[in-house]
Amino acid sequence: MGPIHNHWLQDAQRCESPNHSERPEGVQPWLLVIHNISLPPGEYGGRWIEDLFSNCLDPKAHPYFAEIADLRVSAHALVRRDGGVVQFVPFDKKAWHAGRSSYEGVSDCNDFSIGIELEGCDTEMFTDDQYETLSLLTRNLLLAYPSLTTQHITGHSDIAPGRKTDPGPCFDWNRYRAAIT
């Protein structure tokens, strides 16, 4: 994976999502939020995540999709099981990944965070390729955005407790943190 240029990852697949907006004036991203996603739940591969983030998920393609097809959500990037990256929103924009959230007493985390999705679920281990890519992506983000620091990296479950559980108990925070320091 190449560096970040004009707020886009070089060498990443690009699938631009309409589900983003401007950050509040003067706000730079200073929080990194790690998520997990699989569509349908527990299944990997295919274009379902891209379709969800692009507002073109077919509600008839799977029973679960009827429940979520009208959501208007996104993340900045997705790390697939094979370590490939898809970027949906430029990092200087506000992706709609956190929902109702709060970090260290500051609400609306989308305003000041970057959201990274890992293709996975709460009950399965993430792959070596994902940890390698996530670590490289994180190091690139830390270089490109001095407002981000290793002290302000958290899970979706930590900013939306009781509402969200990801990245889940199978995410190895110690392994990840050791790889980015």
Q: What is the pLDDT of residue 75?
A: 98
Q: Which residues contact 165 (CB under 8 A, 6 or more apart)?
A: 122, 156, 157
Q: Which residues contact 105 (CB under 8 A, 6 or more apart)?
A: none
| Residue 163: CA count within 13 A, CB half-sphere | 11
Tokens, residue 165: 């559980």
CATH number of the domain that residue 174 is part of: 3.40.80.10
Dihedral of the CA atoms 166, 170, 39, 115 (nearest 10)?
40
Q: What is the pLDDT of residue 140?
A: 97
Phi, psi values for residue 78, rounded to 5°? -125, 130
Predicted confidence (pLDDT) at residue 174 exceeds the cutoff of 80: yes
Q: What is the 3-state composition of the chain as percent helix, strand, coil, each rounded to the nearest 5?
A: 25, 20, 55
Q: Which residues are catalytic?
A: 117
2-6, 42-46, 71-75, 132-136: least confident range? 2-6
Question: To the nearest whole percent, how much of the chain has pLDDT over 70?
Answer: 100
Predicted confidence (pLDDT) at residue 36 exceeds the cutoff of 80: yes
What burial class does residue 78 get, using C-beta atoms within 10 Å of its C-beta: 0-12 exposed, 13-18 middle, 19+ buried?
buried
Domain region containing 58: 4-180
pLDDT tens for 73-120 read: 999 999 999 999 999 999 999 999 999 999 999 999 999 999 999 999
Give 63's strand partners: none
Confidence of residue 2 (pLDDT cuts 50, 70, 90): confident
Give 8's strand partners: 5
Q: What is the pLDDT of residue 73?
A: 98
Predicted confidence (pLDDT) at residue 39 exceeds the cutoff of 80: yes
Strand 153-155, strand 31-37: pairing: parallel
Q: Which parts of the chain fold into alpha helices (H)?
A: 48-53, 65-68, 128-144, 156-159, 173-180
pLDDT tens for 119-141 read: 999 999 999 999 999 999 999 99
Q: How many domains does the chain have?
A: 1
Predicted confidence (pLDDT) at residue 26 exceeds the cutoff of 90: yes
Q: What is the pLDDT of residue 106?
A: 97
Q: What is the pLDDT of residue 96?
A: 98
Q: Is 91 helix (H, G, I), strand (E, B) or coil?
A: coil
Q: What is the pLDDT of residue 173?
A: 98
Average pLDDT over the chain reads 97
pLDDT tens for 59-78 read: 999 999 999 999 999 999 99
Q: What is the pLDDT of residue 1?
A: 74
- The single residue listed with the structure tokens 């050791």 is 178
The distance between the two most distant Cα atoms of the chain, rounded to a whole number of Å, is 45
